[in-house]
A and B are shown apart, each in its own frame.
Chain A
Amino acid sequence: MSKQAIGSVLVVGGGIAGIQASLDLADSGYLVYLVEKNSAIGGVMSQLDKTFPTNDCSMCIISPKLVEVGRHLNIELLTLSEVQSISGEQGNFEIKLTQHPRYVDVDKCIACGICAEKCPKKVLNEYDAGLGKRKSIYLKYAQAVPLKYAIDENCIYFKKGKCKACEKFCPSDAINFDDKQKELTINAGAILIAPGSAVYDPSVYDTYGYKQSPNIVTSLEFERILAATGPFAGDLVRPSDKKAPAKIAWLQCVGSRDINTCDNSYCSSVCCMYANKQAVIAKEHCDDPLDTAIFFMDLRTYGKDFDKYNLRAQEDHGVRFIRSRIHSVFPDDDDKLRIVYATESGKRAEERFDMVVLSVGLSPGKDVAGLAEKMGVELNNHGFARTSCLSPVSTNREGIFVCGTFQEPKDIPHTVMEASASAAAATGNLSHARWSLTRVKEMPPEENVTGQKPRIGVFVCNCGINIGGVADVPAIRDYARDLTHVIHVEDNLFTCSQDNQDHIKQIIREKGINRVVVASCSPRTHEPLFQETIRDAGLNKYLFEMANIRDHNTWVHMDNPEKATEKAKDLVRMAVAKAAYSEPLHQVSLKISKAALVIGGGVSGMEAAVGIADQGRPVYLVEKSIELGGNAKFLGTTWQGEQIGPYLEDLVNRVKNHPDIELFMQTKVTGTTGTMGNFSTTLTSLNGEGKEIKIDHAVTVLATGGREKVPEQYLYGEHPHVMTQLDMDRAFSESDERLSGTKSVVFIQCVGSRIPERPYCSKICCTHSLKSALLLKNKNPKMKVYIVYRDIRSYGFREELYVQAREAGVIFIRYNLKNLPKVESLEDDHLSVTVTDHVLGMPVRLKPDLLVLASGIVPNANTALFEFFKVPVNSEGFLIEAHAKLRPVDFSSEGIFLAGLAHYPKPIEESIAQAKAAASRAMTILAKEEIMVGGVVASVEDARCAACLTCVRTCPYGIPKINEDSHAVIDSAECHGCGMCVSECPGKAISLQHFTDEQLLAKTSALFTSGG
C-alpha cells in the first residue's frame, strides 16, 4: 500500500499543534493541507499574553511560525473550512471539505483596515474573549495569517439587504458579496487532527456569579486584559470602573476535577501554572503593590521548571497560595468581591478582592464530537480522543493521528512535542511518496551587480492611514529623491499589496535599479516578502533595505506629525546610506549525510531510532549497557493499564531486526566533530577490547535517560520492609514474600523531590503510587493503604486513578516540608510512621507492614557526552532544550535533538511522544539531500586574527575554532549569524555579512549628517 501512498497530509486545526505539525511535515517533504475553521490560524496561543515558565510574549514567539506557515510553498492553508466527510484508507484518503465564503478577495485585500473603520456593525470580539468589540468585517488580530479581512454573518447587508459600506470604501476592490460556499475534494496519505479544546464556560457555577459581576473574569479574559493588544491596551484595570485593582484572587479547578457542578472529573493540567504566571505578570503590571491570592486544591506545578517558578512566585513576588476551594463569591460594596473560605486549620477567614479570576479548565471542543464521528475516530469517556499510552498520537483508525489538547488537556510544550510526534507517526508509511507532491519555486538567474554604481529605488508606504495619516509621506518621498544614489522614488497606499509587487518588479527592470529600499513597517513580518519580490526581478535578496517608519515612528509619535515626518526622513536616509553598501550574499548548498545517531537504548532512544529508520534513513543506535529497554524493563503497566512488557519486546525486536538500524551495544561515544548535516562521531566499545569506530551522521538524538534516585532517608536500606516504587513493582512481579499477608501499606511521596537540593517535581510518582495502591486494594480490599503526600499531581486524565484510589478507600494524608513524616522501627521491628493529619491537626500513627518511598527521578550523569555535543544542562543535570515552549526537542545547536528522561522526568507515554517528535524534527534535516548555508554569517580576516580565543569563548554555539595556522575559523555552514563574536573581537578581525562595519557606519553617520 505504501507504494501507492500519496505524499500529502491533511492537518485539521490551525492552532499551535496544527502549525507545528504542518511545518514539520512540509519541511520534510510532504504537501500539507492545513484546514482551519476560523478566518485565521493561531488558535488559543495567539490570545495569550505571556507564557510560562519563561514569561515569553506569546504572540512574539508564535508570530514567526504563523508567517512561516503563511509563506510556506508546501502548506496550502484553507481557512474558514471544515471537513465534511472522509473516505479511503491509510495512504490514500479522499476528504471532502466545505470552504465558507470570506466575501473578501484574498488576492486583492491589502488589510488596510478602511473597511472595518467604515463598517457600522459592532459585534463582540471573540479574540478578546468577548471583552471588547470588533466590526462585522474583521481581521482576527493584527498579526493574523492570512492577513486578510473577512465578513461574518452579522453583516448588515446580509441581514437587511443594504449597506455595503466596506465595498464603497475598499481601495483595492477586494469586497465580493457574491462569494459562495465552495466544496473541495482533496487527497491525502494521512490525516492529523488537532482541533484543540474549548475554554470552559463557568456560567453554571452559580455560586461564583460569573455573569453577575464584570469583575469576575475567566482566566482567558484575564490574559486579554493583560495583553497589550487586549481590550484595555495592556493596562491592568477592573472591567467595572477601569481602575487599577489592589487585590486579585484566582479560583482554581473551575470546570475541572468536579463531578457535581460540572461533569469534568479530569484535571485540566495547565491552570495551576497559568495562574502562577498570571499572578506574577499582574504584579509586574502594577505601579502600586498588588495583592494576589491563588485558592487551590492541589498545586500541580509538575512540569520542567514549574516548581521553581512557583517558589519564585511565592518567595520573590509574594503571591499568596491558599489551599482552599472557594464555595461562593459575593458581590460587595464598591464593586468588590467577598470571599469566605476555610483555612487549612478549619477556621473561616474572609477577604475582599477587586477582581476574581476563575481558572477555567479545558473542555472538549464543541464541534469535535461531530468531527470525530466523520473521521471514525473514537472518543474517551471525557469526550477527548482515545489513545493508548503506548501509541500516544495514534487514533483507533489507521492513518489518522491526533495531537494537542484534543488528545488530553496539556500545555504548549507538550502540545508542540506531540505535534511533531504526530507528523512523524503520520508519515511513517508515506516515506516512498516524500517530495512527490511538493513544489519548488523557479527563480530567474541573479543579475551580477558587482562593480555597478548603486542605483537605488525608494518606495514609501502610506500603510493606509497608519503612516500617511500621521507623517507627510509625499514630503518623505520627495526628500528621498535628493539622497545620493537614489534614481527612483514613489509612494504607495500599500507597498505590500499584490499588485505593487508586480509594479516594483517592473520598475526594477525598467530603470535598472540594483538596490531597493522600502520605508514602511516591520522587517519581521514584511522583509521576506520584499526580498522575494526583488529576487523575482533578478536581484540578490540581500540588496534590500527596510526603514520601519510605522512601528518605530508613526505609531509611537501619533501626536507629533511634524517630528514624525522628520524622523521618517532620518530613517529613510539611514536605510539608503546602508543600501549603497549592500553586497549580494550567496548561500551555498552543502551535501549532508543521510544517517542519524541515536544515543541511548531505552524506550525513548528506540522509538526515535525506529521513527527515523521507518522513514528510510539509516540509524546508528548506541547503548552503553548490555541490554536494551532502560527503565521500561522494570515497569508493569501504563497508567491506563496497557502492558508494557509485550510492547517493549516488540520494540526491541523491531530495533534489532530493522534493516536501517545498526545497533552498537556496550558502546559509548568518545568524541564528535562537525555540525548539522555532517557530524563525525567516534564510538568506543566497552566490552574489553575498546574497539573504536567512526561514523558520519547528519543529526544526533540524545536519549540518555534517568533513573529512580536511591533514597537516603526513612530507613531505606536499613529496614527490609522499606522499598522504592520500582522495588515494589519488582516485588509484585516476583511475588515477593514481603507482600504476602500485608495488612497495611504506607506510601510516602516526594522523597527526594521538591526539596531545596532538588527543587523539581518528578512528575510520575503520584501516578505510580496511585496505581500501586489500587493494585494492593484490588488484591485485598480490606488492606489499609495510606498515601502520605504533599500535593497529588495526577494531571490530565490520570485524575481517574486518584478518584478510583479514594473510592477504594485509600487514605490520603498531607504533610509539608516543615512537618515531615517520622519513620521509626519499633522494638518488635515493626515500622511506625507518624504524621499530622491535615484536617484534624492531630498526630496519627500508622504501623505498616510495608513502607513504599516514592523516590524522585534523577538524570543519568553524562558530563563528557554532553560536553562533546556542547549541549547545556541545568543545575539538576537535565538537558536544556532550545526553547522551553516552542522547541521542546531541539537544542540551540542545530541538528541535535533530545527525548525522554534526560530532558525531564516524564511518564512513558510522554517519552514515546517526545522520541517520535525528535524523529520528526530530525527528518526535517534528513529528508533533504543538501542544506543551504551561509548568507548572514560571520567571517574572519585571517591577517588580523591574534588567536586570542575571545570568539571561541563568546560564541553561544561553539562554532569558532583556531586552526593549524593559528587563526580563527568560523564555518559558514555552522554560524548562526548572531554577531556576538563580531562585537567582542578585540582585533576587529571578524565581520558579519550584511551588517559589516562599513554598512553600519554608513548608516549611523547618515543619522548625524542631514543627508542630501
Chain B
Amino acid sequence: MKKFNIPHNFEFTSIITLYAQWIREGKLKVNSDWNRDLKIKFTLQDPCNIVRKTWGELMADDLRFVIKTIVGEENFVDMIPCGTNNFCCGGGGGALQAGLPEQRRAYGKVKFDQIIKTGANYVFAPCHNCHGQMEDIGEFYGGNYHVVHIWTIMCLAMGVLGENERAYLGPDLAKVGL
C-alpha cells in the first residue's frame, strides 16, 4: 500500500504481534507444562517477509517469546543464523510455483542443513510458503522433522486441539492433550 500510495484508514499488524500482546496481557493463558517431561525440541523459521523485510528484530523477538512460552525455553533451539539474518527457505517470492524445482531444492538445501543441525523434531513455519517448502525439502532430502503452524501447538498447549486438527503432528504428539 505504501508502494502504490493507497490511502487507508486501518493499521496493519501481524497475528504474531497479537499473540505476544495477548500473552503479556494475560488474555491468552498458555504455558509449556505439556512439554516439561516430553522435552520435544522445536525450532523456528523466520519468514523473510515478516521478519527481515517488515518488522525486523521486533518480530523476531515476538516470535521467540510466543514460541518459548508454548514449548518451553529449554525446548527451543534456534537455527544458525536466525532472526533478521536467517536464510530464506527457498520457496518464497513465488519460487514454489515458479516451475524450477531443481533450483528451488538446491536453494532449500541450506535451510534443510540448518534445520537438521538444530536437532529439532518440529519446525514452526509462520508462513505458508515456508511451510510448503520445508515440508518438500524435508521429504526430498530425507529429514525426519515435522513442520507446524504456531496455532496448532498453541492449542495443543492449552489442551483445546481437536483430533482432526493434528494433520501436521508426528506420532509423538498425536495423542497429547486429547
Q: Is the CB of A330 within 8 A of B80?
A: yes
Give the complex CA separation of A127 and B151 in angstroms. Answer: 52
Residues 77-109 of chain B, each 1 if its beta carbon lies under 8 Å from chain A, else 0: 000110111000000000000000000000000
Q: A206-B83, A330-B81 are in contact. List 6 more A-B contacts (CB 8 A).
A: A206-B84, A206-B85, A207-B85, A328-B81, A331-B80, A332-B80
Describe B's contact surface by its main secondary structure: helix
**Which of B80, B83, B84 gathers the greatest number of chain A CB atoms within 10 Å?**
B80
Q: Which residues of B contact A331 (CB under 8 A)?
A: 80
Closest chain B residue, CB of each to CB of A332? B80
A: residues with CB less than 8 A from B are 206-207, 328, 330-332
A-B CB contacts (within 8 Å), total count = 11
Closest chain B residue, CB of each to CB of A329? B81
Closest chain B residue, CB of each to CB of A209? B81
**CB of B106, distance to nearest CB on chain A (Å):** 12
Q: Which residues of A contact B84 (CB under 8 A)?
A: 206
**CB of A158, distance to nearest CB on chain B (Å):** 37
**CB of B51, distance to nearest CB on chain A (Å):** 12
Residues 56-95 of chain B, each 1 if its beta carbon lies under 8 Å from chain A, else 0: 0000000000000000000000001101110000000000
Q: Which residues of A contact B80 (CB under 8 A)?
A: 330-332
Q: Which residues of A contact B85 (CB under 8 A)?
A: 206-207, 328
**CB of A207, distance to nearest CB on chain B (Å):** 5
**CB of A714, distance to nearest CB on chain B (Å):** 43
**CB of A125, distance to nearest CB on chain B (Å):** 31
B: residues with CB less than 8 A from A are 80-81, 83-85
Closest chain A residue, CB of each to CB of B57? A206
Q: List 11 A-B contacts (CB under 8 A).
A: A206-B83, A206-B84, A206-B85, A207-B81, A207-B85, A328-B81, A328-B85, A330-B80, A330-B81, A331-B80, A332-B80
**CB of B158, distance to nearest CB on chain A (Å):** 34
**CB of A676, distance to nearest CB on chain B (Å):** 61
**CB of A390, distance to nearest CB on chain B (Å):** 46
Q: Which residues of B contact A207 (CB under 8 A)?
A: 81, 85
Give the complex CA separation of A328 and B85 in angstroms. Answer: 8
Give the complex CA separation of A332 and B114 in angstroms. Answer: 12
Give the complex CA separation of A207 and B83 in angstroms. Answer: 10
**CB of A367, distance to nearest CB on chain B (Å):** 29
Give the complex CA separation of A206 and B61 in angstroms. Answer: 14
Give the complex CA separation of A331 and B80 in angstroms. Answer: 7
Closest chain A residue, CB of each to CB of B85? A207
Q: Which residues of B contact A332 (CB under 8 A)?
A: 80
Give the complex CA separation of A206 and B83 in angstroms. Answer: 10
Closest chain A residue, CB of each to CB of B83? A206
Give the complex CA separation of A328 and B79 in angstroms. Answer: 14
Closest chain B residue, CB of each to CB of A331? B80
Closest chain B residue, CB of each to CB of A208? B85
**CB of A352, distance to nearest CB on chain B (Å):** 13
**CB of A339, distance to nearest CB on chain B (Å):** 12
Give the complex CA separation of A328 and B82 in angstroms. Answer: 11
Give the complex CA separation of A85 and B81 in angstroms. Answer: 50
Closest chain B residue, CB of each to CB of A338? B80
**CB of B168, distance to nearest CB on chain A (Å):** 29
Give the complex CA separation of A328 and B87 in angstroms. Answer: 11
Q: Which residues of B contact A330 (CB under 8 A)?
A: 80-81
4 nearest A-B pairs in the assembled complex, by CB-CB distance: A207-B85, A330-B80, A328-B81, A330-B81
Give the complex CA separation of A327 and B111 in angstroms. Answer: 17
**CB of B130, distance to nearest CB on chain A (Å):** 20
**CB of B54, distance to nearest CB on chain A (Å):** 17
Give the complex CA separation of A206 and B86 in angstroms. Answer: 11
Closest chain B residue, CB of each to CB of A330? B80
Give the complex CA separation of A330 and B87 in angstroms. Answer: 12
Give the complex CA separation of A351 and B85 in angstroms. Answer: 19
Give the complex CA separation of A332 and B117 in angstroms. Answer: 10
Q: Which residues of B contact A328 (CB under 8 A)?
A: 81, 85
Closest chain B residue, CB of each to CB of A207? B85
Q: Which residues of A contact B83 (CB under 8 A)?
A: 206
**CB of A946, distance to nearest CB on chain B (Å):** 77
**CB of B57, distance to nearest CB on chain A (Å):** 8
**Which of B83, B84, B85 gathers the greatest number of chain A CB atoms within 10 Å?**
B85
Give the complex CA separation of A207 and B57 in angstroms. Answer: 13
Give the complex CA separation of A207 and B82 in angstroms. Answer: 10
Give the complex CA separation of A331 and B117 in angstroms. Answer: 12
Give the complex CA separation of A330 and B81 in angstroms. Answer: 7
**CB of A569, distance to nearest CB on chain B (Å):** 62
**CB of B169, distance to nearest CB on chain A (Å):** 30
Give the complex CA separation of A331 and B118 in angstroms. Answer: 13
**CB of A351, distance to nearest CB on chain B (Å):** 16
**CB of B111, distance to nearest CB on chain A (Å):** 14
Give the complex CA separation of A816 and B119 in angstroms. Answer: 46
Give the complex CA separation of A206 and B84 in angstroms. Answer: 9
Give the complex CA separation of A669 and B157 in angstroms. Answer: 94
Give the complex CA separation of A332 and B85 in angstroms. Answer: 16
**CB of A74, distance to nearest CB on chain B (Å):** 55
Q: Which residues of B contact A206 (CB under 8 A)?
A: 83-85
**CB of A62, distance to nearest CB on chain B (Å):** 40
**CB of A512, distance to nearest CB on chain B (Å):** 78
Give the complex CA separation of A332 and B80 in angstroms. Answer: 9
**CB of B125, distance to nearest CB on chain A (Å):** 22
Closest chain A residue, CB of each to CB of B87? A328
Give the complex CA separation of A207 and B84 in angstroms. Answer: 9
Q: Which residues of A contact B81 (CB under 8 A)?
A: 207, 328, 330
Give the complex CA separation of A996 and B142 in angstroms. Answer: 85
Give the complex CA separation of A328 and B110 in angstroms. Answer: 14
**CB of A466, distance to nearest CB on chain B (Å):** 48
Closest chain B residue, CB of each to CB of A327? B85
Give the complex CA separation of A330 and B84 in angstroms. Answer: 14
**CB of B56, distance to nearest CB on chain A (Å):** 10
Closest chain A residue, CB of each to CB of B114? A330
**CB of A858, distance to nearest CB on chain B (Å):** 49
Give the complex CA separation of A332 and B79 in angstroms. Answer: 11
**CB of B78, distance to nearest CB on chain A (Å):** 11
Give the complex CA separation of A529 and B25 in angstroms. Answer: 70
Closest chain B residue, CB of each to CB of A333? B117
**CB of A349, distance to nearest CB on chain B (Å):** 15
Give the complex CA separation of A601 and B83 in angstroms. Answer: 62
Give the complex CA separation of A207 and B86 in angstroms. Answer: 10
Give the complex CA separation of A206 and B80 in angstroms. Answer: 13
**CB of A346, distance to nearest CB on chain B (Å):** 16
